[in-house]
Amino acid sequence: MKSVLPLFIFVDACGWEIVKNDPFARSFAPNRKRLESVFGYSSACVPSILSGAWPVEHRNWSYFVYDPVNSPFKSLRCLRWLPAAVTSRRIFRRWLSKFVKAQLSFRGYFDLYNVPFKHISLYDFTEKKSPLQPHGMNEGTNVFDYLEQRRIPYHVSDPGLTEEANLASLIHAIDHEEPNFAFLYWPALDGLLHSVGNQSPEIPAKLRSYERWIEKLLHTARGHYQEIKLYVFSDHGMANCDEVLDLKAQIETLPLRMPEDYVVVYDSTMARFWIFNDRARWLLTECLGKVPQGRIVPDAELGRLGALFPDRYFGELVFLVKEGVLIVPSHMGERPIRGMHGYHPEEKQSYALLCTNQEQIPEQVTAIPHVYNLMVKEAENAQSCNEKPQAPSTTARAVQVPSAVQS
Ligand SMILES: [Zn+2]
């Protein structure tokens, strides 16, 4: 029997608004807090949680960037001759993405999405490593580097496995009292919300199944650890998309050429531009200024959001739509989907959730990167309690003292 297990369960897209009026996790993690998210998609939020840093610091932000010199996709240009009926099919794109990922030895999540083959050699993909592994950040370190450095035994989910398989794998590790820190990652709610939206009865049904899984996990853990410090949290929420915006059609009416005058990446909720002359800058700024569904995010605001990159690596002009608007077609998808995230962090559905069985959530924990501080503090504490055998009563008291967390 060990003393303490810090158990961090990451439920992707389980936003504050989604559980605000739902009893989710209340029976075993009654202390809840709304957290600010990070501007960007999961490609920005997950690395921020795992590193405690903001995008400008860890440089994991949006997936595709303009970088023709370093583009690993040059060989795919020949596919531009294939008919769109084939190349825009999801099934073809998924198959090709798997093949390209293996060829290029990418270790993180990879998808070619809907990037046109005509222009694919202009772009590089920024998540070549997995943020869920040590050495997984583009800059700096993450919690797994920290755990390895301090030789703290840990368990982390493998994103290549199903949610059930990752649960079974963690239960097995707990049965053997291996970890002094556990990180479980469940991404399926995100996928479900994207396809059915945040009002579907399928959402509470999925939350109930997560609760059953967590109960099962806790039941096993109680047989092997005197105390389980449980934290269930998310990275962002999900907004329903009620309006589509064909931004590409509007930009392509301008007397500009790509890639001579500008290059753009159309994400689902933002368009990021690299601009090569003053005339293009003027025409693009004027055109975007007249699109009522969104706005150009000023540099000062990007700076406050931790997403202003001095080298403009992710684009020099960022146009962001309002919550509920979806850019279609985009480089992320050809067709509309029901739900999306990646809006401004102050939009209603952007806020994330943290809930715990601990009495206090430190005041300084207000945004998702701060979950990192909790993880590090709890891992450190569990390591010292579990490796130093103590009288059970002393241990129990010692681990319940809440201590300050850096913000
Ligand atoms: Zn998502």
Distance from the CA of 401 to the center of ligand 1, in angstroms? 36
Share of the chain above pLDDT 90, in %: 79
Distance from the CA of 235 to the center of ligand 1, in angstroms? 10
Cβ atoms of 211 and 24 within 8 Å: the answer is: yes
Q: What is the pLDDT of residue 390?
A: 55
Q: What is the pLDDT of residue 405?
A: 41
Higher pLDDT pick, 96 / 281: 281
Distance from the CA of 190 to the center of ligand 1, in angstroms? 5
Q: For 373-378, which contacts have Cβ atoms below 8 Å and span 24 or more sequence positions?
A: 373/52, 373/405, 373/406, 373/407, 374/8, 374/231, 374/405, 375/6, 375/8, 375/143, 375/181, 375/183, 376/52, 376/143, 376/146, 377/403, 377/405, 378/4, 378/6, 378/8, 378/181, 378/229, 378/231
pLDDT band at 395 (very low <50, low <70, confident <90, very high): very low
For residue 249, pLDDT beyond 90 = yes
206: its two tokens? 């999925």
Distance from the CA of 109 to the center of ligand 1, in angstroms? 12
Angle among Cα 103, 106, 108 to the nearest 5 degrees reads 145
Share of the chain above pLDDT 70, in %: 90
Find the mean pLDDT for residues 267-292: 98
Find the mean pLDDT for residues 216-225: 98
Distance from the CA of 359 to the center of ligand 1, in angstroms? 31
Distance from the CA of 196 to the center of ligand 1, in angstroms? 12
Q: Among 28-37, 135-144, 237-246, 384-393, where is mean pLDDT lowest? A: 384-393
Higher pLDDT pick, 375 / 111: 375
Angle between helices 163-175 and 202-222 (to 10 degrees): 10
Q: What is the pLDDT of residue 84?
A: 73
Q: What are phi and psi of 33, to 5 degrees?
A: -145, 140
pLDDT band at 274 (very low <50, low <70, confident <90, very high): very high
Higher pLDDT pick, 266 / 115: 266
Distance from the CA of 135 to the center of ligand 1, in angstroms? 24
pLDDT band at 391 (very low <50, low <70, confident <90, very high): low
Find the mean pLDDT for residues 17-40: 97
Q: What is the pLDDT of residue 76?
A: 67
Distance from the CA of 195 to the center of ligand 1, in angstroms? 10
Distance from the CA of 157 to the center of ligand 1, in angstroms? 18
Distance from the CA of 305 to the center of ligand 1, in angstroms? 20
Distance from the CA of 380 to the center of ligand 1, in angstroms? 31
Query: For the chain, what is the largest distance between any 2 Cα atoms, rounded to a whole number of angstroms?
Result: 77
Distance from the CA of 219 to the center of ligand 1, in angstroms? 30
Q: What is the pLDDT of residue 205?
A: 98
Distance from the CA of 194 to the center of ligand 1, in angstroms? 7
Distance from the CA of 249 to the center of ligand 1, in angstroms? 25
Q: Among 112-116, 145-149, 246-250, 379-383, where is mean pLDDT lowest? A: 112-116
Four-residue CA torsion sign, 115, 120, 122, 123: positive
351: its two tokens? 């806020």
Distance from the CA of 13 to the center of ligand 1, in angstroms? 7
Tens of pLDDT, residues 60-91: 999 999 999 998 777 766 666 677 776 677 77
For residue 401, pLDDT beyond 60 = no
Instruction: Report the alpha-carbon distance of residue 42 to residue 340 in Å, rounded.
Output: 11
For residue 305, pLDDT beyond 80 = yes
Distance from the CA of 273 to the center of ligand 1, in angstroms? 22
Distance from the CA of 268 to the center of ligand 1, in angstroms? 10
Q: What are phi and psi of 272, to 5 degrees?
A: -115, 125
Q: Among 78-92, 180-194, 203-217, 333-347, where is mean pLDDT lowest? A: 78-92
Distance from the CA of 332 to the center of ligand 1, in angstroms? 11
Q: What is the pLDDT of residue 266?
A: 95
For residue 316, pLDDT beyond 60 = yes
pLDDT band at 347 (very low <50, low <70, confident <90, very high): very high
Instruction: Report the alpha-carbon distance of residue 138 to residue 63 in Å, rounded.
Output: 12
* SS3 at position 256: coil
Distance from the CA of 314 to the center of ligand 1, in angstroms? 19
Q: Among 82-91, 288-297, 298-307, where is mean pLDDT lowest? A: 82-91
pLDDT band at 215 (very low <50, low <70, confident <90, very high): very high
Distance from the CA of 193 to the center of ligand 1, in angstroms? 8
Distance from the CA of 152 to the center of ligand 1, in angstroms? 31
Cβ atoms of 132 and 12 within 8 Å: the answer is: no
Distance from the CA of 189 to the center of ligand 1, in angstroms? 9
Distance from the CA of 56 to the center of ligand 1, in angstroms? 21
Find the mean pLDDT for residues 21-29: 97
pTM exceeds cut of 0.85 = yes
Q: Are strands 270-275 and 262-266 parallel, antiparallel or unpaired?
A: antiparallel
